[in-house]
Structure 1
Amino acid sequence: MSVLMTGANISYPPVFDDRRAAVARKLAKFGRLCEVGIGERHGVAAALASDGCAVTGTDVVDRDPPDCIEFVRDDVVAAAERAAGDGGPGPHYRVDCVYALNCPPELHRPLVRVAAGVDAACAFTTLGGDPPAVDVTPLALSDGDTLYVARDPEGVLID
């Protein structure tokens, strides 16, 4: 695929391409998932839902994902603080895997704290050039993306 560049404008490939399909295939091993920072691109969550997974998406602003994805407005940083208390991060995080796509380094630690608060697996992709800010096991996926596994208590992701 060629990238057309004109002045300051850069054309990016679609987010749900073969690399994201590989992420969805890997995460489909879980029955219940929560995508943190779902944004406007719902391809992975929708693919998981179409495979029979129960998917909740969270974001700091209201989003309108497809009906197959439950949405809860929440801030993962605030949820990480709640996870330290007795109440936990929130019921929408009580899943098998908490994950994020294109997760910036400042959210890696809160994401892991939320997952640890509910004893869930935790995985994420980065923005590309950003290294993980937490201890991870990198999984090079067949289609070129890297999925960083920060928690895998049941050994589902790391074979």
Structure 2
Amino acid sequence: MRTAREAALVSRFSAYGAAVEIGIGRRPTVAAALADAGVTVTATDVVDRRESDGVEIPSSVSFVCDDVVAASERADPGAAYHADLVYGLNLPPELHRPTLRVARAVDADFLFTTLGYDAPTVPCASESIAGGETLYVARERS
């Protein structure tokens, strides 16, 4: 069952044809729902979630074990990151700048949420969404 927050994120992100979730962690719900809505979704994480106990990445979501910090330092971040949207949910501050660099490199929008008490470390606009969540828009193509 999706929460109001998850439904709002899926609604906001479903306009994109392809999306990459940075640091999917143990919560693949939004990525799975986006894939169900017809978005091509790739999830990344530094931990191989396919082998992690108790976490199942749905087959509708591609998974790539990669470090967004390392990807941000490459001339081309890698095929996994070539999408219309790069997003992170509960993205820690130390990943804001590297993820923005990746989004710029692949000419993608970059939207993210924080844990709530973290302030964004990159310039961005904010949107209030259902569930009391703030969605930060760090890069949006015209």
- Tell me whether the two structures share a fold, i.e. TM-score over 0.5: yes
1:104 equivalent among 81, 92, 98: 92
Aligned length: 136
Q: Does 1:58 align with 2:44?
A: yes
Matched with 1:9 is none
Gaps in structure 2 of 5+ consecutive residues = 51-56
The 8 Å contact of residues 20 and 145 in structure 1, kept in 2 or not, is answered as no
Q: Does 1:21 align with 2:11?
A: no
Q: Trace 1:32-71 onto structure 2 (pairs within 5 A).
A: 32-64=18-50, 65-71=57-63
Distance, in Å, in 2 between the alignment partners of 1:22 and 1:104 is: 21
Quote how far apart the aligned CAs of 1:19 are.
1.0
Identity value in percent: 52
Question: Scaled by the length of structure 1, what TM-score is found?
Answer: 0.82
Q: 4+ residue runs of structure 1 moved beyond 6 angstroms? A: none
SS at match of 1:35: strand
The C-alpha deviation readout for 1:100-119, integer Å capped at 9, x for no partner, is: 00001110000100000000
Distance, in Å, in 2 between the alignment partners of 1:146 and 1:55 is: 22
The 8 Å contact of residues 32 and 96 in structure 1, kept in 2 or not, is answered as yes
SS at match of 2:131: coil
Matched with 1:76 is 68
Question: Scaled by the length of structure 2, what TM-score is found?
Answer: 0.92
The structure whose RCO (Cα within 8 Å, separation 6+) is larger is 2
Specify the code of the residue in structure 1 equivalent to 2:73: E
* Coordinate RMSD, CA, aligned: 1.2
Distance, in Å, in 2 between the alignment partners of 1:105 and 1:80 is: 15
Distance, in Å, in 1 between the alignment partners of 2:132 and 2:116 is: 12
Distance, in Å, in 1 between the alignment partners of 2:87 and 2:130 is: 19
